[in-house]
């Protein structure tokens, strides 16, 4: 029996709607946290708050979707957690990837630089442009500037003040990531984020661990692989047309198919192995998509096409001869399963028999293709 796939979302105490739909479709359980109230040295910190998702816990679980929100910690960051945060700030790869994330991902940027008016003519946009322009290679260490009491916090008027803003944002991000990873290890949760910079940051941390020990300390998160496969197979238009009720209904009605997909996912996950020595596992995921997922999609669609062609070939060869009617030919341009079964007479009976046989072949093909759970998602929404 496979291990339960429980995802812990850590970027914030709220989640993007589309990501929530993906979680419902993919994971056995979804876990969230309240916003933590971490502070550093009693000087500055995050304001803790209950997640707005709490109000939906009971209704989700009543619908059969295991959905949980956990209390987040508060207080001064000390001990092992502080050491982990300081290691991240000291790591130039981590800091450069954090800065790149702000530049490249609007969602990631919004999570760390809250939209608003910061006074003295400064907005989230002006602050972003200032910290995005920092040359980390020729600046003081982010950790040094973060711990320097002489550099004011949230002072975008000076280069060092801007660097402190960048270092502070990275510190809060690191604190949440490291706490979530610790909770994940303790409870068997797989870390989940919906912006690619988080994967890059995890890769930087894994790379550092590999360099220190000579071996990979953790496998690539299953959640990253599963989301990559979903994004590969399910067009955005399909998710944009779905609502939460659609997602839960499809999850319930296709439970065996979802189970088969997750079994298959674990097989693919095993093929990935541990984190590459350079900490960049996006290339490994892409390799799985190229060698395992896309060929399976082609094979599956070719198999369905063959079944379709066989069905209509048999109908042309047999049903029309029985019917002796050219009127039935007009049906072929817009034929559906329902129309096949609604036909009457000898030709209709022949068609229905062949359609039933083809339907059985199609179901067998879907059972054999684990990723058909995702490939069928668009059609299932329309039923």
Residues 131-188 pLDDT 10s:
999 999 999 999 999 999 999 888 899 999 999 999 999 999 999 999 888 888 889 9
Cβ contacts of 205 within 8 Å, gap of 6 or more:
88, 91, 94, 177, 279
Are 163 and 308 contained in the same domain? no
3-state secondary structure of 253: helix
230 within domain boundaries: no
3-state secondary structure of 192: strand
Domain boundary among the residues 176, 194, 212 is at 194
Are 187 and 310 contained in the same domain? no
3-state secondary structure of 4: coil
Are 176 and 324 contained in the same domain? no
pTM: 0.79
19 within domain boundaries: yes
Residue 2 DSSP label: P
The Cα–Cα gap between 269 and 225 comes to 7
Cβ contacts of 287 within 8 Å, gap of 6 or more:
none
The answer to whether the beta carbons of residues 113 and 127 sit under 8 Å apart is: yes
Please give the structure tokens belonging to residue 18: 């589309």
The Cα–Cα gap between 343 and 351 comes to 8
Residue with tokens 């892409």: 286
Are 187 and 297 contained in the same domain? no
Q: Of 371, 13, 19, which is closest to residue 195 (Cα–Cα)? A: 19
262 within domain boundaries: no
Are 185 and 311 contained in the same domain? no
The Cα–Cα gap between 241 and 382 comes to 10
What is the per-residue DSSP string for 48-97?
Answer: PB--GGGGGHHHHHHTT--EEEEPPPEEE--HHHHHHHHHHHH-HHHHHH
- What is the structure's pLDDT at 75? 87
Domain boundary among the residues 194, 224, 258 is at 194
145 within domain boundaries: yes
382 within domain boundaries: no
253 within domain boundaries: no
Are 177 and 296 contained in the same domain? no
> Domain range holding 335?
292-370
Residue with tokens 């400064």: 122
Q: Quick one: CA dihedral 336, 338, 344, 345, positive or negative?
A: positive
Q: For the chain, first and last CA: distance in Å?
A: 31
Would you tell me how many other CB atoms lie within 10 Å of the CB of residue 95? 25
The number of domains in the chain is 2
Greatest Cα pair distance, the chain, in angstroms, is 94
- For 194, the enclosing helix (H) or strand (E) is none
| Paired residues of 117 in beta bridges | 123
Domain boundary among the residues 166, 194, 222 is at 194
Are 182 and 311 contained in the same domain? no
- What is the structure's pLDDT at 237? 86
258 within domain boundaries: no
Would you tell me how many other CB atoms lie within 10 Å of the CB of residue 1? 4
268 within domain boundaries: no
Per-residue pLDDT of the chain (383 residues; tens, 9 = 90+): 688 999 999 999 999 999 999 999 999 999 999 998 888 887 777 888 999 999 999 999 999 999 999 988 888 999 999 999 999 999 999 999 999 999 999 999 999 998 888 888 899 999 999 999 999 999 999 999 999 999 988 889 999 999 999 999 999 999 999 988 888 888 999 989 988 899 889 888 877 876 666 554 556 788 888 999 999 888 888 888 899 999 999 999 899 899 999 999 988 888 876 666 666 777 788 888 898 899 988 888 888 777 766 666 555 445 444 444 444 444 444 555 455 555 544 445 555 566 666 677 777 777 788 898 898 886 554 44
Q: What is the dihedral of CA 308, 314, 319, 321, to 10 degrees?
A: 140
Q: Of 201, 233, 212, 181, which is closest to residue 10 (Cα–Cα)? A: 181
**CA 134 to centroid of chain Cα atoms:** 30
Cβ contacts of 20 within 8 Å, gap of 6 or more:
30, 244
- What is the structure's pLDDT at 72? 85
């Amino acid at each position: 029996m496979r291990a339960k796939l429980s995802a812990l979302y850590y970027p914030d105490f709220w989640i993007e709607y589309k990501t929530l739909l993906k979680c419902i479709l993919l994971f056995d359980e979804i876990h969230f946290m309240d916003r933590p109230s971490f502070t550093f040295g009693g000087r500055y910190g995050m304001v803790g708050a209950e997640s707005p998702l709490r109000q939906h816990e009971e209704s989700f679980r009543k619908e059969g979707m295991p959905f949980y929100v956990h209390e987040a910690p508060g207080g001064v960051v000390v001990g092992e957690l502080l050491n982990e945060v300081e290691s991240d700030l000291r790591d130039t790869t981590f800091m450069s990837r954090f800065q790149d994330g702000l530049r490249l991902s609007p969602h990631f940027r919004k999570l760390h630089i809250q939209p608003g008016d910061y006074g003295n003519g400064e907005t989230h946009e002006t602050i972003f442009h200032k910290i995005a322009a920092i040359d980390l290679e020729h600046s003081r260490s982010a950790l040094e500037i973060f711990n320097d009491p002489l550099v004011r916090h949230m002072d975008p008027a000076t280069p060092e003040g801007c660097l402190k803003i960048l270092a502070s944002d990275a510190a809060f991000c690191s604190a949440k990531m490291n706490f979530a990873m610790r909770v994940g290890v303790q409870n068997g949760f797989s870390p989940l984020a919906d912006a690619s910079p988080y994967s890059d940051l995890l890769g930087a941390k894994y790379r550092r661990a590999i360099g220190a020990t000579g071996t990979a300390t953790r496998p690539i998160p299953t959640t990253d692989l599963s989301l990559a496969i979903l994004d590969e197979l399910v067009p955005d238009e399909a998710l944009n047309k779905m609502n939460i009720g659609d997602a839960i209904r499809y999850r319930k009605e296709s439970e065996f198919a979802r189970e088969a997909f997750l079994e298959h996912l674990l097989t693919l996950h095993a093929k990935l192995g541990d984190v590459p020595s350079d900490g960049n596992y996006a290339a490994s995921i892409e390799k799985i998509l190229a060698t395992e997922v896309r060929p399976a999609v082609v094979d599956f669609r070719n198999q369905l096409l063959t079944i379709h062609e066989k069905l209509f070939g048999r109908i042309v060869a047999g049903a029309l001869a029985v019917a002796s009617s050219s009127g039935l030919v007009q049906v072929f341009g817009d034929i559906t399963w329902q129309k096949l079964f609604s036909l009457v007479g000898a030709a209709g009976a022949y068609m229905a028999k062949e359609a039933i046989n083809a339907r059985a072949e199609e179901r067998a093909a879907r059972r054999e293709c684990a990723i058909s759970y995702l490939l069928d998602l668009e059609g299932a929404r329309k039923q």
